[in-house]
Amino acid sequence: MKKISTFIIAFIIFTEFSYSEFSDDLYIYGAAQTIFLNENFQQSFSQNQLQQGGIIGQRIDSQDTSFNKNRNSFMTQQVNLFVNKFYEDKLNFFFDMQFNQNYNSSEDLGSFSIQEAWVNYKLSNQFQIKAGQLFPAFNNLNEVKNRLNLLNYLFRPIVYEKILSDVISSEDFIPETAFLQLHGQIPISNFFIDWAAYMGNSEGSFLISNTSPSSDGYLSGSDPNDLEKKLYGARIGLRTKKENFKIGVSGTRDYNDGNSYLKILKLDLVNDYPVLPIEDQLRYRIGADLSANYKGFSIESEYSFSHMEDIIFKNSEFNIYSSDECWNRFYYVNLSYDINDDIFTYIGYSEILIGILNFNSDSDYVTLGAGYRINPWLTLKAQFIAYQQQVDYPILWENPQGERRPRLQTMKLKNSITIVGFSAQF
Amino acid sequence: MKKIIIILFTILVSSLANSQVYVVVNTSVESDSVDCEKLLEIYTLNTNNWDDGGRITVIDHKGDENSKSVFYECIKINQKAVKKIRLKKLFTGSAKPPKSATSDLEILDLVSKTPGAVGYIDKNSLDTSIKNIKVVAVLDI
């Protein structure tokens, strides 16, 4: 790994110094999306006498307990700044900074991150090398997931939506980042065959953070795992030269961070009980995507399935969790229609199914929305989302005799969200 | 009234049929002809090299000139789709935007001064006195 890191750093430094004297084009541009969000939130539980931990963290004593809340908020959902520097015609450097959710460091609000920072060397259109932090080619949306100005919607399909990043771990479904990608497009008649193969770190949660209790001598931000536990992936696709039809299949192999599940289990399932560490699991993701447009109508869709090897989870007191089936599934379909050059409307459906141990979650949403392009740089958008989630999960329940037994708990969540906002690019 | 409408319609159709666009390149480009398929790849920013390996500089009209609609009709793609494709490539860092010009004269000027440049103009705007340009395709509808 050290050799590869050294090579990448050397490659970037070499290209930077070698080509800087020939530089001719620098582009700086960006995009922002500001929203007003109304959320009606209902949550209910079908068990009594339970201890609910995690985000809610309160005791619920009555049967069929439910919450009903209504929230309204203005928010700078996301601002991106892009820098693209071209050196001659074969090489360019790209940088993408992102500010999320009313970012303010002094108030500890939102987040700021480097989303991408890479160098692309184009040997030919058929063969290119991209090195640095990048969004890897996977399905339809992954490479443009944070380019909100390119998307019709305000609220992205579930796994891509940053507002839900505290609730849903996108890495269970898609590879978030890679660090080295070979890719290209091969022209055949009226089509291009797109191909990509890449590698990177497995999961963001593997990275050593500044607050890690023990970094074992590793640098903050680095992944201490060896090459065996890295991400390896590929996509092959076909698209017309007019880009009105695109289809592809993707696949990755990496490792799931067992400790991230441990965190979930500890927080939400067995809050009071110590648990043993879970091993990291080998994980495969398989994806497929299809997009097409014709006479103002356009459809985009993708499907992702991930499977992890067996998880054996033991509670120090009870051996209650074990399973040989650990899988996640996600898909979305979005149908848009351009009423004219300026006004568009769409309807979409997205679903996530999670099956980990005895934890099963089924979330879906139906959405509809519309937008008005005031000019090429500014678009007004409105969207309604009816989101619901049902989660079945085991809890340790203490009966009146003081005996603790595993029980299955069902939580239902209904959420209707109305968002209006604008997307601007500059 | 009917006759007038028919006459006007005939004039319109014949004028459209006679719309011709010249695709011009800088003389540094080795090719003497470029087909519509290659022009589609070039103007959707899917390629940035000529067949001889030279770098392509794309020049496009900024406004909505007649030659622009003729050009895109000939290469069989609508302008809205082109805008969308270019925007995606720009925001994913995979291509730089084309240079834009406000008139055929400016296109001829840019093409003549930029090695590897390509542009298109109305056939009536061709000025043979301008050096370093050559016509590589004639498109009409």
Domain spans, chain B: 20-140
Residue in chain A lying closest to B54 (CA): A89
Residue-by-residue DSSP string for A267-313: III-TTS-BPPPPPEEEEEEEEEEEEEETTEEEEEEEEEEEE--EEE
- In order of A193, A426, B86, the CA distances from A30 in angstroms are 30, 5, 15
Residue in chain B lying closest to A426 (CA): B91
pLDDT given at position A425: 93
Q: With bands split at pLDDT 50, 70 and 90, how would you rate the model's confidence at B128?
A: confident
Residue in chain A lying closest to B56 (CA): A89
User: Is residue B57 scored above 90 in pLDDT?
Assistant: yes
d(CA A33, CA A3): 41
Lowest mean per-residue pLDDT among A5-9, A105-109, A268-272: A268-272
d(CA A250, CA A236): 7
- Residue among B50, B94, B100, B114 with most chain A CBs within 10 A, to mutate: B94
Q: Do A144 and B91 touch (CB under 8 A)?
A: yes
User: Is residue A193 scored above 70 in pLDDT?
Assistant: yes
pLDDT given at position A325: 63
Residues of A in contact with B83 (CB under 8 A): 376
Q: Do A242 and B77 touch (CB under 8 A)?
A: yes
CATH topology of domain A2-425: Porin (2.40.160)
- In order of A381, A424, B20, the CA distances from A376 in angstroms are 14, 9, 29
pLDDT given at position A16: 47
- In the block, tokens 């840019």 appear at B110
Residue in chain B lying closest to A189 (CA): B37
Lowest mean per-residue pLDDT among A162-166, B59-63, B64-68: A162-166
Q: What is the mean pLDDT of residues A196-205?
A: 91
Domain B20-140 has CATH 3.40.190.10: yes
Q: State whether ipTM is beyond 0.95.
A: no
Q: Closest partner residue to A243 among B48, B76, B85, by Cβ?
A: B85
User: Is residue A266 scored above 70 in pLDDT?
Assistant: no
Angle between helices B66-74 and B79-91 (to 10 degrees): 80
- The overall average pLDDT reported for chain B is 86
What share of chain B has pLDDT > 70, as a percent?
87
- Residue among A186, A242, A379 with most chain B CBs within 10 A, to mutate: A242
User: Is residue A380 scored above 50 in pLDDT?
Assistant: yes
